[in-house]
C-alpha cells in the first residue's frame, strides 16, 4: 500500500539505492537479473510492463550491448512513475492537497483574527523550502570522474529500431540565462552522436530555447549540465509547465517541504542536486546545429529529423555505484499517463487564476495530452463560454492543445468517459463547433505546417438538443454505406443511445482523398442515420478498440483540413495523409515493437501474462 500522505512525516530519498530499497519494501519493484540488450530489449520489456494493471518499477541489473560485446556495471532503472501506486509512493502527498495549498497562496489576503494569522503564517512559513541550498562540499556525484570522456560507458538505450541512435530519456537538463539570474530544469531527450557530443531537443517554447538565443545573440557558449538519478520528483518537476523564469527546483522544495540541496559542477558554473547519480557537463556552441532524430516519441509516432543544438561534453562524473534511469515513450498508456495526472491536478489552481470560470479539466492519456482536453466551465454572462474557450487556448502550454471539449460545471466527472461522452453528444450540434488555427506542438505530425495547424473546440453546454435520428444496426449501416462508398470495409457505432452517435468507418483509401470521395456522393436518406462519422484506415485500426481509436484519431487530424459538414453530417478524416490530401510533409511511422525482440524476451521467460490479446489491445507491433 502507498504511504499515508496526510501526516507530517515524509520519506526522503538519500540516493537512488535508498529509493530502490523503498520500492522493494512496498513490493513495487521487479528486478530483472537476466542480461538484456540496451538496444530494444530493455526498452521493449519496460514498454510492456507499464501497460499491465499491476505495473511495477523495473531494475535491470545486467544491461549489455550485444553489438559492442559489452557488459555494463551500471544497472538501469525504469518505470518509476509506472502506476498510481508508484506515483503515490514517490510524491507521498495527495496531489489535490498540493493544489489546494497553491490555491491558498494565490488567493492570499491579509488575515483577520488570531486563527487566520496563525494559518497564514503557516502557509508563508512553508515557502522557506523553495529556494535551493548550495553546498560548498564536494558532492557525492563527483566520487568518480571519468578520466577519458566516453558516453558509451553509460547504458544509454535505443528504444525503437528506427530511432536515429541511442537517447538519454530521463535526463534532468540544467541551464541558466546569460546573466545567471534565471535558472531552468527541463526534461528533454538527448541523442548520443559520439563519445562526447549530445543532441539537445529543445522545442521552440521551452525556457532553455529562450536562454540559447540569449547566448547566441551575445556570441557566447552556453553551459549545460545533465543530471541522472536521485529523487524521481526532480524529473517530474523538469517537465512541469511552470511560468517562464520560475525555477523548477523551487517547485520541488514546495512539494517536498525541504530545500533541494545542490552541488557545483566541475567544468561549468551550474549547480545540480546533491543526491543524483551521474552528471554530464558541457558547453553548447550556439553557432553549431546538427540533425537530430528520428525518435519514437510520446505521441506514438516517430518525430522527423530536424536541426537542434549540440552539447560538447566537458566532464562526466558519478557516484561509486550509480544507477542509470530511463523511460520509454510511444503508444499509450505509459509513464507519462501518471506524470500527466500529477501535472493536471497540481496545476489546476494556476490555470484557474488565468482562466476565470474554469472549474476542472482533464487530459486523457490516449489523447497524448496536447491532442485532447476536457474542461468544465461556469460561464457567468453571454458569450462568456466562448471567451473562456479562447482564453484557455492561450494559456501557456495549453495553447498547444488541438482538440478541446468544454462542458457546464454540472457535467459528469471528466474521467467517467461513458457518462461524459453521453453528456457531450446529447448537447452537440454543428453550431457548437469552433474550428480555428494556431500554434501546435512541435511533435504534431498531422498539421500541414510545422508547429501550426487547425484546432477544434466543442461547447457542449446547456440543454440537450432535439434529434430526428433513425438508428440502424452496424451491419445494415455498413452495407448501405458500401453501396455509396466502395472504399468502406467496416462500421462500428459508439454512444448509439445518444442524440449524436459516433460512427467509425474503416476504409481503404484509393487515388483520391476521402473528402473528395465523400463529397462526390449524396447521402440521401442515410443522412437520417448518421451524425458524426470518423474515417480511419481499415488496415491499421481495430474498430472494436475505442481506446486506440481515440489515440489514432486525435493524432491524425488537422481540424481545418479534415473536418467538414455534409448534409448535416459531420465527417472527420482520420486516415494517414499524403499528397492526394494536400499534405506535403512526410507521414511518420508508428512506434511498433520488433516482433523478433518480443520473441527473444518470451524465450527468456520474461513475458509472463503477455498474450496475443494484450499485444493487439495496445497495438504493440504491426504484425502482432
Domain with residue 160: its CATH number is: 2.30.110.10
The answer to whether residues 349 and 319 belong to one domain is no
pLDDT number for residue 2 = 45
Q: How confident is the model at residue 206 (pLDDT cuts 50, 70, 90)?
A: low
Within a domain: 223: yes
Task: Quote the pLDDT of residue 11.
Answer: 85
Shared-domain flag, residues 439 and 498 = no
Q: What is the pLDDT averaged over residues 265-271?
A: 97
Strands (E), 295-450: 295-296, 302-303, 306-318, 324-326, 358-362, 373-377, 403-408, 433-439
Reported as a single tens digit per residue, the pLDDT across 7-32 is 456 888 989 999 999 999 999 999 99
As a whole number of angstroms, the distance between CA 561 and CA 68 comes to 48
Tell me the mean pLDDT in the region 275-302. 97
Chain centre distance of CA 279: 25
pLDDT top residue among 279 and 257: 279
> CA 604 from chain center: how many Å?
31
The three three-digit cell numbers of residue 109, written as one number: 489576503
Rounded Cα distance, 331 and 619, in Å: 8
pLDDT, averaged across the chain: 92
In the predicted model, what is the mean pLDDT of residues 530-536?
Answer: 98
- Confidence at residue 108, expressed as pLDDT on a 0 to 100 scale: 52
Total of domains in the chain? 4
Q: Is residue 9 part of a domain?
A: no
The rounded distance, in Å, linking the Cα atoms of 575 and 583 is: 12
Whether residue 213 is predicted with pLDDT greater than 50 in this model: the reply is yes
Cα distances (Å, whole numbers) of residue 103 to 93, 100, 350, 357, 359:
16, 5, 8, 15, 13
Which has more pLDDT, 46 or 512? 46
Residues 376, 396, single domain; the answer is yes
Q: Which of 280, 310, 20 is nearest to 153 (CA)?
A: 280
Residue that finishes a domain, picked among 275, 296, 326: 326
Residue with cell 484546432: 455
Instruction: Report yes or no on 454 lying in a domain.
Output: yes
Residue 590's nearest CA partner among 545, 623, 562 is: 623
* 237 and 197 housed in the same domain: yes
Look at residue 382 in the predicted model and tell me its pLDDT: 79
Cβ neighbours of residue 166 closer than 8 Å, sequence gap 6 or more = 38, 156, 157, 158, 191, 192
Distance of CA 170 to the CA centre of its chain: 13
pLDDT at 5 over 50: no
Same domain, 231 and 96: yes
In a domain, 467, yes or no: no
Name the residue with cell 438538443.
465
- Residues 159 and 286 reside in one and the same domain: yes
pLDDT-above-90 percentage for the chain:
80
Alpha-carbon distance 344 to 331, whole Å? Answer: 20
The domain that holds 370 is classified in CATH as: 3.40.1670.10
> What is the model's pLDDT at position 1?
44
Does the residue 4 lie in any domain? no
Kindly state the average pLDDT of the residues 169-175: 97
Same-domain status, 349 and 312? no
Q: Is the pLDDT of residue 367 over 70?
A: yes
Place 150 in a pLDDT band, splitting at 50, 70 and 90: very high
Q: What is the pLDDT, as a whole number, of residue 450?
A: 86
Residue that finishes a domain, picked among 298, 326, 354: 326
Instruction: Provide the pLDDT for residue 521.
Output: 94
Which pLDDT score is estimated for 210?
86
Residue 124 has pLDDT above 80, yes or no: no
Q: What three-state secondary structure class fits 134?
A: strand
> Could you tell me if residue 100 is inside a domain?
yes
Same domain, 31 and 89: yes
Q: What cell does 528 get?
A: 437520417
Is the CB of residue 42 less than 8 Å from the CB of residue 49?
Answer: no
**Length in residues, the chain:** 624
Query: Is the residue at 141 inside a domain?
Result: yes
Contacts of residue 157, defined as CB under 8 A and 6 or more positions apart, other chains included, come to 38, 39, 42, 43, 76, 166, 167, 169, 326, 328
In a domain, 25, yes or no: yes
Residues 146 and 291 in one domain: yes
pLDDT score for 301: 97
pTM: 0.93
Show the domain range for 142: 16-326
Contact between 541 and 576 (Cβ < 8 Å): no
Whether residues 295 and 348 share a domain: the answer is no
pLDDT at residue number 388: 80
The cell numbers describing 577, all together, are 495523409
Same domain, 138 and 273: yes
Q: What angle do CA 554, 556, 559 make, to 5 degrees?
A: 75
* pLDDT (tens digit per residue) in 461-503: 999 999 889 999 999 999 999 999 999 999 999 999 999 999 9
- The yes-or-no verdict on residue 451 having pLDDT over 50 is yes
Last residue of a domain, one of 460, 487, 522: 460
Whether residue 371 is found in the same domain as residue 482 = no
Maximum distance among all Cα pairs of the chain, rounded to whole angstroms: 79
What are the distances in angstroms from CA 370 to CA 34, 187, 441? 37, 17, 7
**Residue range 54-61: average pLDDT?**
97
Amino acid at each position: 500500500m502507498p504511504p499515508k500522505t496526510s501526516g507530517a512525516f515524509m520519506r526522503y530519498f538519500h540516493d537512488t539505492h535508498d529509493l530502490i530499497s523503498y520500492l522493494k519494501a512496498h513490493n513495487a519493484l521487479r528486478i530483472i537479473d537476466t542480461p538484456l540488450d540496451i538496444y530494444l530489449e530493455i526498452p521493449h520489456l519496460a514498454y510492456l510492463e507499464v501497460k499491465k494493471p499491476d505495473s511495477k518499477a523495473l531494475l535491470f541489473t545486467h544491461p549489455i550491448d550485444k553489438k559492442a560485446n559489452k557488459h555494463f556495471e551500471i544497472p538501469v532503472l525504469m518505470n518509476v512513475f509506472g502506476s498510481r501506486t508508484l506515483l503515490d509512493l514517490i510524491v507521498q502527498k495527495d496531489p489535490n492537497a498540493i493544489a489546494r495549498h497553491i490555491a491558498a497562496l494565490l488567493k492570499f489576503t491579509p488575515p483577520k483574527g488570531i486563527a487566520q494569522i496563525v494559518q497564514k503564517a503557516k502557509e508563508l512559513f512553508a515557502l522557506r523550502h523553495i529556494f535551493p541550498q548550495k553546498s560548498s562540499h564536494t558532492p557525492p556525484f563527483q566520487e568518480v570522474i571519468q578520466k577519458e570522456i566516453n558516453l558509451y560507458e553509460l547504458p544509454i538505450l535505443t528504444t525503437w529500431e528506427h530511432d536515429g541512435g541511442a537517447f538519454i530519456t530521463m535526463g534532468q537538463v540544467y541551464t541558466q540565462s546569460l546573466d545567471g539570474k534565471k535558472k531552468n530544469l527541463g526534461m528533454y531527450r538527448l541523442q548520443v552522436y559520439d563519445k562526447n557530443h549530445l543532441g539537445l531537443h529543445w522545442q521552440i517554447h521551452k525556457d532553455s530555447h529562450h536562454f540559447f538565443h540569449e547566448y547566441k545573440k551575445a556570441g557566447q557558449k552556453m553551459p549545460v549540465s545533465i543530471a541522472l538519478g536521485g529523487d524521481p520528483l526532480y524529473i517530474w518537476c523538469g517537465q512541469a509547465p511552470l511560468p517562464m523564469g520560475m525555477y523548477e527546483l523551487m517547485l520541488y522544495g514546495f512539494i517536498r517541504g525541504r530545500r533541494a540541496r545542490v552541488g557545483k559542477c566541475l567544468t561549468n558554473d551550474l549547480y545540480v542536486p546533491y543526491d543524483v547519480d551521474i552528471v554530464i557537463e558541457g558547453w553548447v556552441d550556439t553557432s553549431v546545429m546538427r540533425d537530430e532524430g528520428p525518435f519514437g516519441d510520446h505521441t506514438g509516432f516517430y518525430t522527423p529529423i530536424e536541426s537542434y543544438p549540440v552539447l560538447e561534453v566537458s566532464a562526466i562524473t558519478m557516484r561509486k555505484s550509480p544507477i542509470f534511469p530511463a523511460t520509454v515513450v510511444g503508444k499509450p498508456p505509459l509513464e507519462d499517463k501518471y506524470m500527466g495526472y500529477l501535472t493536471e491536478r497540481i496545476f489546476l489552481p494556476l490555470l484557474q487564476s488565468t482562466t476565470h470560470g474554469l472549474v476542472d479539466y482533464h487530459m486523457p492519456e490516449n489523447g497524448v495530452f496536447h491532442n485532447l482536453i476536457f474542461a468544465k466551465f461556469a460561464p457567468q454572462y453571454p458569450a462568456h463560454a466562448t471567451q473562456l474557450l479562447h482564453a484557455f487556448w492561450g494559456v501557456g502550454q495549453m495553447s498547444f492543445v488541438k482538440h478541446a471539449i468544454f462542458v457546464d460545471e454540472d457535467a459528469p466527472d471528466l474521467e467517467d468517459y461513458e457518462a461524459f461522452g453521453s453528456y457531450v453528444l446529447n448537447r452537440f450540434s454543428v453550431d457548437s463547433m469552433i474550428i480555428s488555427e494556431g500554434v501546435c506542438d512541435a511533435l504534431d505530425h498531422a498539421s500541414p505546417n510545422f508547429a501550426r495547424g487547425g484546432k477544434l473546440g466543442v461547447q457542449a453546454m446547456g440543454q440537450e438538443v432535439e434529434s430526428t435520428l433513425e438508428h440502424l444496426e452496424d451491419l445494415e449501416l455498413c452495407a448501405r454505406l458500401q453501396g455509396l462508398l466502395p472504399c468502406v470495409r467496416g462500421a462500428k457505432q459508439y454512444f448509439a443511445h445518444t442524440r449524436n452517435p459516433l460512427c467509425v468507418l474503416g476504409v481503404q483509401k484509393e487515388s483520391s482523398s476521402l473528402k473528395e470521395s465523400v463529397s462526390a456522393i449524396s447521402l440521401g436518406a442515410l443522412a437520417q442515420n448518421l451524425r458524426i462519422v470518423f474515417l480511419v484506415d481499415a488496415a491499421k485500426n481495430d474498430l472494436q478498440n475505442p481506446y486506440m481509436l481515440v489515440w489514432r484519431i486525435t493524432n491524425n487530424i488537422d481540424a481545418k483540413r479534415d473536418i467538414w459538414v455534409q448534409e448535416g453530417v459531420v465527417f472527420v478524416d482520420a486516415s494517414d495523409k499524403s499528397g492526394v490530401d494536400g499534405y506535403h510533409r512526410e507521414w511518420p511511422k508508428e512506434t511498433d515493437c520488433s516482433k523478433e525482440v518480443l520473441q527473444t524476451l518470451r524465450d527468456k521467460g520474461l513475458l509472463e501474462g503477455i498474450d496475443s490479446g494484450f499485444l493487439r489491445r495496445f497495438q504493440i507491433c504491426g504484425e502482432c
